[in-house]
Amino acid sequence: MFTARIYVTLKEGVLDPQGGAVMNSLHTLGYQSVKDVRVGKYLVVSVQASSQEQAEKQVNEMCAKLLANPVIEDYKFEFVGE
Amino acid sequence: MKAGIIVFPGSNCDSDAMHVCQQVMGWDTDYIWHAENQFARKYDLILIPGGFSYGDYLRSGAIARFANIMSAVADHAKGGGYVLGICNGFQILTEANLLPGALLRNNHLQFRCEQVWLKVENADSPFTCAAQEGQLIQVPIAHMDGNYFADKETLEQLQENNQILLRYVDETGLLTAAANPNGAIHNIAGICNEAGNVCGMMPHPERAAEHILGSADGRIIFESILQHWGER
């Protein structure tokens, strides 16, 4: 079993109103040091596969087809454990 | 005229769409369940109604796009049949790559349910041909993710091919930021595909097709489809 940690984020240049709202709130709390916030999604997907390479191929497909919308989002993932 | 309305778990404007197609327009209309693999008969118009298909999990429209029936919808579109996606239907059509771009969260993060003014930018499409170019219509919106986005190249293509059908304007027809209810790029409210037979719009013409509802302006969308169907 391979466990993928998948991060889906809005592409650079795509407006992120949630990120903006979170940043404003952080500023209100006094964290003036915050210059940008981007909100994304974090998914943990466990895959049965014969090798990490196989699992990687599958997860890539899943991301491209469903988990991320390539028009507005980027994704990256890493595997943890066995 | 035969119309089919796709019903997903979480669709909630399917009955409104049925009422307008069947009672107001007098069309022979069926509901089509999302789990079907094909249409029981041939339709002229496939309507994808508003709602929250699959709870809008992951992204609005992202899961509905892979429902069994969607390959039949894609075939129908490829064959030149009319497809109209309203609100969640628009989101589903962009997710399914039947329309370009994507619908992002409203820029102010609020769910907006209100009347808006729309300007008919292109009165040459199957969905707007009964209107005059520049005509203003008042139709309600009700959405959280209606902020239309497309990259620069896609926008240029949309402009060049006259694929922008409707834009948010103020009551005098001016394209202002204040009249834009969701932050949509260039105030875009509705578009069509390059061939012109697939249309998506965030506003709800089916909720404004009779005077008793406060506006019958939305009926022009359905009248247009009928007119185009009769002429072709």
The arithmetic mean of pLDDT across residues B70-87, rounded, is 98
ipTM confidence score: 0.85
pLDDT in tens, A57-79: 999 999 999 999 999 999 999 99
Residue A82 has a pLDDT of 58
Domains of chain A, earliest start first: 2-80 (3.30.1280.10)
A49 — pLDDT class (breaks 50, 70, 90): very high
Using a CB-CB cut-off of 8 Å, the residues of chain B touching A67 are: 58
Beta strands in chain A (DSSP E): 2-10, 41-47, 73-80
Q: In whole angstroms, what is the distance from residue B166 CA to residue B152 CA?
A: 19
Site of tokens 């578009």: B191
Mean pLDDT in residue range B85-100:
98
Confidence of residue A81 (pLDDT cuts 50, 70, 90): confident
Q: Which residues from A are below 8 Å from B when comparing CB atoms?
A: 14-15, 17-18, 21, 41, 66-67, 69, 71-72
Structural domains in chain B, sorted by start: 2-231 (3.40.50.880)
Q: Are B184 and B146 in contact (CB under 8 A)?
A: yes
Beta bridge partners of B136: B119
Left, alpha or beta for B68 (phi > 0: left; psi -120 to 50: alpha)?
Answer: alpha
Contact A42, A5 (CB under 8 A): yes
* Per-residue pLDDT tens digits for B94-131: 999 999 999 999 999 999 999 999 999 999 999 999 99
Chain B positions with Cβ closer than 8 Å to A? 58-59, 62-63, 66, 94-95, 100-102, 104-109, 147, 149-151, 183
For range B199-210, the mean pLDDT: 98
CA distance B48 to A42: 30
Contact B73, B5 (CB under 8 A): no
| Dihedral angle over CA of A10, A15, A16, A22, nearest 10 | 140
CB-CB under 8 Å, B149 with A14: yes
pLDDT in tens, B127-149: 999 999 999 999 999 999 999 99
In A1-82, which residue ranges form alpha helices assigned H by DSSP? Answer: 17-28, 52-62
